[in-house]
């Protein structure tokens, strides 16, 4: 019978099939030599039994040592047709890769046929966003313009939302790199690449006001943004400034500096910016990294259309 473990479970059709002896030895190896949990071994067993059932359909003889990459690809295609998601398809192929690596170590094969089968591509998750009205509510809320911390915290949110810079770039932003007359800042980005990012009049005014107040805390560094003690801001502080501010403005879900960067890109595209321009502003190496935001834009447009158009959700009949 198939590999057994010490937990009780109902006997499903596949689990009750006689298992290939080579599979049995592989599962024993995983459990006793690799010390994998019974749940992990159970998952391997199910995938191997699915594979064996496919190869023996129609009473065909099955020899694991004679399998070709084409056999495995055909199985993956069939499983996809049966509704397996990309994550499940990847797991199944990885189970076969592990099995054939085991046979290679036992000198029973000279190559791994599963290693030549490309893993299913996982769908790229869409970036999380904050709705424009939520950010507007935060940026339009009253602030004591004589209070250093309140002005600085407002400026932090504005910089993320209006320039799209990364958390590390904001923390490392030098005071001399921000020109409110030209309304541009010089960002030192990934791979030591610098880029110029323009900004608007409102942000320039907030930077000037912040600088006036900052002179009273006697900054100890050349960074634009500092703590009330004059030291550079640090990641957890910046995160809490953004998160807490957006929560107070009614935001829900993931609320972080990186989400504001995503929101900047989406807002720019929604309001007519060219994709290549947004790529340059974000400091992306390739256009492919920026194109994900076009999907967000289309998704947002679809959502707004369905809410606004009187016939959008009308049933045909």
CB 134 within 8 A of CB 250: yes
CB atoms within 10 A of CB 153: 22
What's the 3-state SS for 63-96?
CHHHCCHHHHHHHHHHHHHCCCCHHHHHHHHHHH
Can you list the pairs that 27-36 forms with residues at least 24 positions away whose Cβ atoms lie under 8 Å?
A: 27/3, 28/3, 29/102, 30/98, 31/3, 31/5
Reference 82, options 109, 54, 60, 55; nearest CA is 54
Dist. CA 64–CA 23, nearest whole Å: 9
Q: Catalytic positions, please?
A: 166, 190, 258, 261, 284, 293
**C-alpha 207: how far from chain center:** 32
Q: Where are the alpha helices (DSSP H) in 129-274?
A: 132-140, 148-163, 167-172, 201-214, 235-248, 257-270
Reference 92, options 30, 44, 124; nearest CA is 44
Query: Strand pairing partners for 309?
Result: none
């Amino acid at each position: 019978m198939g590999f057994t473990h010490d937990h009780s479970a109902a006997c499903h059709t596949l689990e009750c099939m006689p298992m290939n002896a080579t599979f049995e030895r592989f599962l024993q190896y995983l459990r006793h030599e690799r010390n994998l949990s019974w749940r992990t071994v159970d998952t391997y067993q199910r995938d191997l039994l699915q594979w064996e059932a496919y190869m023996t359909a129609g009473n065909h003889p099955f020899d694991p040592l004679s399998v070709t990459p084409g056999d495995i690809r055909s199985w993956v295609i069939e499983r996809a047709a049966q509704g397996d998601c990309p994550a499940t398809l990847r797991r199944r192929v990885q189970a076969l890769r592990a099995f054939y690596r085991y046979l290679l170590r036992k000198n029973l094969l000279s190559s791994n046929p599963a290693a030549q089968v490309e893993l299913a591509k996982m769908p790229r998750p869409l970036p999380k966003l904050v709705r424009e009205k939520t950010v507007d509510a935060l940026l339009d809320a009253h602030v004591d313009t004589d209070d250093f911390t309140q002005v600085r915290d407002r400026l932090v949110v504005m910089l993320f939302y209006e320039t799209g810079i990364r958390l590390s770039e904001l923390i490392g932003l030098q005071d001399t790199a921000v020109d409110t007359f030209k309304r541009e800042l010089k960002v030192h980005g990934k791979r030591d690449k610098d880029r110029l990012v323009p900004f608007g009049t409102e942000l320039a005014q907030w930077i000037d006001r912040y600088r006036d107040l900052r002179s009273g805390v006697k900054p100890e560094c050349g960074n634009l943004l500092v703590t009330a003690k004059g030291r550079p801001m640090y990641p957890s502080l910046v995160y809490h400034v953004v998160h807490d501010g957006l929560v107070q403005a009614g935001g829900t879900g993931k609320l972080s500096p990186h989400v504001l960067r995503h929101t900047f890109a989406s807002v720019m595209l929604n309001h007519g910016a060219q994709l290549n321009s947004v790529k340059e502003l974000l400091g992306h190496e390739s256009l492919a990294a920026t194109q994900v935001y076009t999907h967000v834009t289309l998704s947002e447009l679809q959502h707004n259309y369905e809410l606004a158009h009187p016939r959008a959700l009308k049933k045909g009949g």
